[in-house]
Structure 1
Amino acid sequence: MKPYHRGELVVQERAGLTKMAEAVSGAIMTEIPDLAADFIEEQPMLVIGAADSRGEVWSSLLAGEPGFITVTGPSTLSVAAALSPGDPLYRTLAEPTRLGMIAIEPDTRRRMRMNGTARPTRDGLEITLEQIYANCPKYIQKRVPQWHPTTPDDPREAGALAEEDIALVDSTDTFFIATTDLDGNADASHRGGNPGFLQVRGPRLLRWPDYVGNSMFNTFGNLEVNPRAGLMIPDWTTGTLLHLTGTAAVDWDPDHAAALPGAQRVVDFTVERLVRVNNASPLRWTAPQFSRFNPPIAHEGAST
Structure 2
Amino acid sequence: MGHRFLELATSPAARAAQAAQGSRAAYARMEGGQALFDQLGPREAAFIAARDSFYIASVNPDGWPYVQHRGGPPGFLKVLDDRRLGFADLAGNKQYLTLGNVATEDRVALFLMDYPNRRRLKLLGRMHAVDLAADAALADRLALPEYPARIERGFVIVVEALDWNCPQHITPRFTEAELAEGLAPIRHRLEALERENEALRARLAEAG
When normalised by structure 1's length, the TM-score is: 0.44
| Distance of 1:53 and 1:119 partners within structure 2 | 16
Query: Which among 114, 121, 138 is matched to residue 105 of structure 1?
Result: 114
Say if 2:174 is the partner of 1:144.
yes
Deviation sequence 1:6-51 (CA, Å, 0-9, x none)? 2332221121101222356699511112111110121011111111
* Counterpart contact for 2:125–2:157, Cα < 8 Å: yes
Q: In the alignment, which residue of structure 2 is the partner of 1:195?
A: none
Deviations 1:139-169 (A, max 9, x none): 111112248xxxxxxxxxxxxxxxxxxxxxx
| SS of alignment partner, residue 16 of structure 2 | helix
1:134 Cα deviation from its structure 2 partner? 0.3
* Corresponding position: 1:70 with 2:100: no
Q: Which amino acid aligns with 2:28?
A: E
Residue from 113, 132, 138 that aligns with 2:162? 132
**Secondary structure, in 3 states, of the residue corresponding to 1:37?**
helix
Q: Aligned partners of 1:12, 1:84: CA distance in 2, in Å? A: 41
- Corresponding position: 1:45 with 2:45: no
Larger radius of gyration: 2
User: Distance between the aligned counterparts of 2:124 and 2:12, measured in 1?
Assistant: 17
Counterpart of 2:55, as a letter, is V
State the distance in 1 between where 2:93 and 2:126 align: 20
Aligned match of 1:16? 22
The two structures have a TM-score, normalised by structure 2, of 0.62
Whole-Å separation in 1 of the counterparts to 2:42 and 2:67: 27
| Structure 1 residue runs without a partner (length 5+) | 148-284, 287-304
Aligned equivalents of 2:16, 2:73: Cα separation in 1: 41
Match runs of 1:1-304 below 5 Å: 3=7, 4-23=10-29, 29-82=37-90, 84-86=93-95, 88-93=97-102, 97-121=106-130, 122=132, 123-146=153-176
Aligned equivalents of 1:110 and 1:64: distance in 2? Answer: 19
The whole-number CA distance in structure 1 between the counterparts of 2:104 and 2:73 is: 24
* Greater fraction helix: 2
Q: Is the 8 A contact 1:102 1:112 kept in 2?
A: yes
Q: Any unmatched runs of 5+ in structure 2?
A: 133-152, 181-208
Distance 1:30 1:73 in 2: 12
Give aligned pairs, total: 149
CA shift in 2, pair 1:87/1:140, >3 Å: farther
Give the 3 Å change call, closer, same or farther, for CA 134–100 of structure 1 in structure 2. Answer: same
Cα shift at 1:88: 4.1
Measured in 2, the distance between the counterparts of 1:71 and 1:29 equals 16
Percent identity among equivalent residues?
20
When residues 144 and 128 of structure 1 are mapped into structure 2, their CA distance, relative to the original with a 3 A threshold, is same
Partner deviation per Cα, 1:176-233 (whole Å, 9 max, x = no partner): xxxxxxxxxxxxxxxxxxxxxxxxxxxxxxxxxxxxxxxxxxxxxxxxxxxxxxxxxx
Q: Secondary structure at the match of 1:137?
A: coil
**Residue 95 of structure 1 contacts residue 119 of structure 1 at CA under 8 Å; is this kept in 2?**
no
> In the superposition, relative to structure 1, how do residues 41 and 98 fare at CA in structure 2: closer, same or farther (>3 Å)?
same
